[in-house]
Every structure is written in C-alpha cells, then in structure tokens.
Amino acid sequence: MRVAAIDCGTNSIRLLIADIENGTLTDVVRTMVIVRLGEGVDKTGEFSQAALARTFTAIETFALLISQHQPERVRFVATSASRDVSNRSEFMDGVLSRLGIEPDIISGDEEAELSFLGATADLVNEQEPPAAPYLVVDIGGGSTEFVLGTTGPSAAISTNIGCVRMTERHLISDPATPQEIAAAIADIDAAIDLAYQSVPISQAHSLIGLAGSVTTVAAIALGLSEYDSTAIHGSRISAPDIHRITGELLAMTRAQRAKLGPMHEGRIDVIGSGALVLDRIMIRTGLSEVVVSERDILDGIARGLISNPS
C-alpha cells in the first residue's frame, strides 16, 4: 500500500510518501522544508503571517508531489506549535484548501507514540539492536517527547522544551552568554524533572535519539563533510562526544556554525539549544551513548495508516 504522511512541526514540515509491504517501509519521496512555523509563538501565542505563508508554500509543493504519486491514504499531523495558538483555525483552513484534508493536531501523548513506532521499527531488527527497554527522545522545535518502551510505548510525556523554543526564550546573543546558557539549562532540567515524574526513565537500557538536532550533532560527531542519512542512521554517539560538541556549538557564532558541512541552513540558529537539550538528557540519565535514528514520527504516521486507516 502507498501512503503519504506529513509532519508539521515547530521548525520544519516534512513529507514522506512510502510503499509499505509486509511491515517493510520503502521511501518513494522523503523531503523537508524549514518553515519555522512556531517562530515567535512562545511570546505572541499565535502564528505570524510570514510563518503561515512559508508553511502554505511548502504545503502547495507537497500537494503536487502527492498528486503525482497517488497514495491511497494521506495524513497530515501537526504537533507542538499548533496546539494552543489563537489563530489555529486560519492554519487549519489553509491546509484544507491546499491539500483537501484537515490536519490532525495531535496530543503530546500521540506524538510520543508515533515517534516510538517510527524510531524503533528498523533499529530493533538490526544485527546488534540496542538493548531494551528503550528511552526514545524526540527533540523537536517546540517540544521534546520522552517515551519508554520495548515492543511499544509503556510510558510517555511531552515537555515544552525544543530547539526553537529554547533559542527564542534564552539563547539570544551571538554566541550565547554563560548566563543565557545557565538559564536554558535550568529550564531544560526542570522539564527533565517533570519527565521523571511520569516516565520511569531509570529503567531504560538504551537511549534512541530522533529529529534534526540529534542527527545534526551525530553528523558532526562522525566527522561528515556533508549530511549523509545512511551513515547517521543507527550510529552510536558517546555521551562525552555529545558534551564536547554541545560546548563547541554554543561557543560558536552563527557565521561559524554556518560553515559546518552537515549543517542545514534552517538549523544554524537553533542547533546549539537542540544539542543542549540532548546533552542535558544524557547527563541526567547517565546513559553512555545515544543511538541515532533517521526514522521518527514521520515514519510512525506512515505505519499508522496501515494499522489504523481511519
């Protein structure tokens, strides 16, 4: 069966058109556009007109691709930034008019479940799979999901720390000052404290990291001259390497980060805070490495269209 999944987050919007047969997902189209939909939302409580325009332009491109490849089922999922904005109806009407389907603005719990499904489906079948139970951590633009499980999620929470939100809230200077970094750490640690109250994180034997902040840090740790998803997927990055790279990214100016080979233009401003979220999680959990997955909520949405077609 051919399906199409769209994940509209705080920082990026992504499309996956895939064929799924006997549990195997084969990409037909996988593409991403950095639209920064959640830009300024933490302060204003609404989507800006510029952010909506960028997002609608990307959706129009996705609509053409969907029309060309004719999937049998399509689902558009919107996450953190879309939950509480005052002009949500404007966003939803814009999606409907361009795609012909209404976006599903999902809860943090469902976001966590879809992230777990997408992340673990491939990794658990590797020759040397990570040890279960897994703590799946999805560091997005507006939120970070913590999901514990083995064959499926047993406990999950969505917290309001993400690379865009932490950058806009704390890391203002170029480069960030020690005071700004300390304030961000306090915010992140408070969210991790909250996660510990809902999820038995200490039971985790492996940490699986998802999304652009994690994969970009992994690319830097691997010494890649350009982004290579094949090399990144399934890689294992040690806690000391994460800590070192986080410190380096936070000490760099924007211009210096822009020169890093694997760096996507849309992540230059927010990679320091994304790396900091990952670093604090590793420090607080005491886990020795992160297993990096290129498969995430987008793959979970696609797989969910097979098991839950409605």
pLDDT of res. 308: 62
- For the chain, give the percent of residues with pLDDT over 90: 68
Interatomic CA distance for residues 297 and 264, integer angstroms: 20
Instruction: Give the pTM.
Output: 0.82
Q: Which residues contact 259 (CB under 8 A, 6 or more apart)?
A: none
What confidence tier does 42 reach under pLDDT thresholds 50, 70, 90?
A: confident
pLDDT of res. 193: 96
What confidence tier does 125 reach under pLDDT thresholds 50, 70, 90?
A: low
Predicted confidence (pLDDT) at residue 80 exceeds the cutoff of 70: no
Residue-averaged pLDDT of the chain: 91
Interatomic CA distance for residues 150 and 152, integer angstroms: 5
Structure tokens at 198: 């809902």
pLDDT of res. 124: 67
Crossing angle of the two packed helices 88-99 and 49-69, in degrees rounded to 10: 30
Please name the residue that has the structure tokens 């410190």.
247
- Across residues 109-133, what is the average pLDDT? 82
Please name the residue that has the structure tokens 């999820």.
199
Each residue's pLDDT tens digit, 271-302: 999 999 999 999 999 999 999 998 888 999 99
For 36, other C-beta atoms within 10 Å of its C-beta total 23
DSSP secondary structure, 94-142, as one string: HHHHHHSS--EE--HHHHHHHHHHHHHHHHTTSSSPPPSSEEEEEE-SS
What confidence tier does 107 reach under pLDDT thresholds 50, 70, 90?
A: confident
Predicted confidence (pLDDT) at residue 31 exceeds the cutoff of 80: yes
Each residue's pLDDT tens digit, 224-248: 999 998 899 999 999 999 999 999 9
Predicted confidence (pLDDT) at residue 222 exceeds the cutoff of 70: yes
Please tell me the least confidently modeled range out of 26-35, 196-205, 282-291, 301-310: 301-310
Highest mean pLDDT among 85-94, 105-114, 190-199: 190-199
pLDDT of res. 81: 65
Please tell me the least confidently modeled range out of 40-44, 73-77, 101-105, 226-230: 40-44
Each residue's pLDDT tens digit, 81-100: 677 788 989 999 999 999 99
